[in-house]
Amino acid sequence: MSGQVLVARDGAAAHVRFDNPAAHNALTSEMWLALRDAALGFAQDPSIRVVTFRGTGGKAFISGTDISKFADYTTGEQGVDYERGIDECMAAVDAIPCTTIAVVEGWAVGGGINIASACDFRIATPDAKFGSPIGRTIGNCLSAASVARIGAAVGVQFAKRMVLLGEMLTAEQLLASGFLLKVVEREALDDELYALVARAAENAPLTTRTTKATIRAMTFGALPEIEELIAEVYGSADFRRGVSDFLVKTKRVPDWEGR
């Protein structure tokens, strides 16, 4: 699976594009690292006042993560290492000190809902769908930081519906919850984004930075230690079965055994 993270600059705004349309913008390991490096760069550039994130092609923001490497996992510690790596990349996005905006067209699944949740604002097309149905697909789990991030953004009950029931939530549902700032028809999306970027760029940067740092500390200040639980999940027979079924595209919920 190929793919890249493209970064463009327009005045005080930086625009990140997830470019892997053949796989509906699923993130490869290299794309995750490119996202981390871009985010670290934004944090060091005070001339950037706004960062936007968007997928290529109009069908998906991000459809998930390339899980092919999971087929080689034999121990739970490999899963712990994987979640640590995702946490490192996501922490860089969380720490961007300026306003961040996700533009969601189509699917925002798995890593897509995580990255969208890390942004300050989200606008979406009416057909956008959001979720993390890992309990119906590969049977892995999220880190404590990912659960905190998504739960804080969408609300705990919606987060439970995404993970415990495997529901894909609609733009209409998440507009009503406050997760989405606006739902915009495709033909008006660029104009709406331009206006939002312009308004955010006018804000006092120290106000934005301090407010974001405060909210970040409130969200992640007391995370539980769950690495033993993560290792149990990634080391399980259920996980190996889920990955195997997913990679051969059986399109059915595995017969989980809880071990």
Residues 139-165 as b or e (16 or more Cβ within 10 Å = b): bbbbbbbbbbbbbbbbeeebbebbbee
Domains of the chain with bracketed CATH: 4-185 (3.90.226.10)
Distance of CA 90 to the CA centre of its chain: 8
Gap between the Cα atoms of 136 and 138, Å rounded: 7
Nearest to residue 190, comparing CAs of 59, 93, 60, 58? 58
- What is the C-alpha separation between 221 and 121, in angstroms, rounded? 22
Q: Is-contact 91 219, C-beta < 8 A?
A: no
Please give the distance of CA 207 from its chain centroid, rounded to a whole number: 25
Torsion sign (Cα): 220, 226, 227, 229: negative
Q: How far is Cα 207 from Cα 210, in angstroms, rounded to an integer?
A: 5
For the record, the structure tokens of 216 come out as 């970040």
How many other CB atoms sit within 10 Å of the CB of residue 122? 27
Rounded Cα distance between 169 and 162, Å, is 7
Successive 10-residue mean pLDDT values, the chain, 259 residues: 92 98 96 98 98 98 95 97 98 98 98 98 98 97 98 97 98 97 97 98 98 98 97 98 92 92
Quote the pLDDT of residue 1: 57
How far is Cα 117 from Cα 130, in angstroms, rounded to an integer? 11
Cα 61 to Cα 64: distance, rounded to the nearest angstrom = 9
pLDDT of residue 249: 86
Residue 35's closest CA among 156, 119, 135, 153?
119
